[in-house]
């Protein structure tokens, strides 16, 4: 059996201490999981609503310029985008409710 040098033993000891400290910090982070989960859900709701409205408005704007029907496609697809965003949020709320 090969004897390890003293500095390698000290390094191994330091690595073990840091790993224990990291594990403790990870436990603290998971203890606050309700707050982090709520913020993740809130951010996803905001992103779902906003992206659906933006995509609907962009599609309506492009179609208005293409067909030369200035406000109508924008209005219609803005409403469709809002409805799609609300539907996505409803589905997310149902999925989160079933997880509980």
- Residues 7-17 have pLDDT tens digits of 888 989 999 99
Phi, psi of 2 (to 5 degrees): -90, 130
Q: Where are the domains of the chain?
A: 1-31, 34-99
Q: How confident is the model at residue 1 (pLDDT cuts 50, 70, 90)?
A: low
Summarize the confidence of residues 56-65 as an average pLDDT: 96
Q: In the structure encoding, which two tokens stand for residue 17, read together?
A: 């201490």
Nearest partner of 73 among 82, 64, 81, judged by Cα: 64
pLDDT on residue 92: 95
**R_g (Cα) of the chain, nearest Å:** 26
Helices (H), 1-100: 6-31, 33-67, 70-99
pLDDT on residue 9: 87
């Amino acid at each position: 059996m090969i004897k390890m040098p003293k500095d390698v033993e000290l390094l191994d000891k330091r690595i073990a201490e840091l790993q224990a400290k990291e594990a403790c910090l990870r436990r603290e982070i998971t203890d606050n999981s309700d707050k982090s989960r709520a913020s993740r859900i809130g951010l996803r709701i905001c992103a779902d609503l906003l992206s659906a409205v933006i995509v609907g408005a962009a599609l309506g704007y492009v179609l208005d310029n293409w067909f030369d029907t200035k406000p109508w496609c924008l209005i219609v697809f803005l409403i469709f985008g809002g409805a799609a965003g609300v539907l996505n949020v409803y589905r997310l709320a149902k999925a989160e409710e079933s997880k509980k």
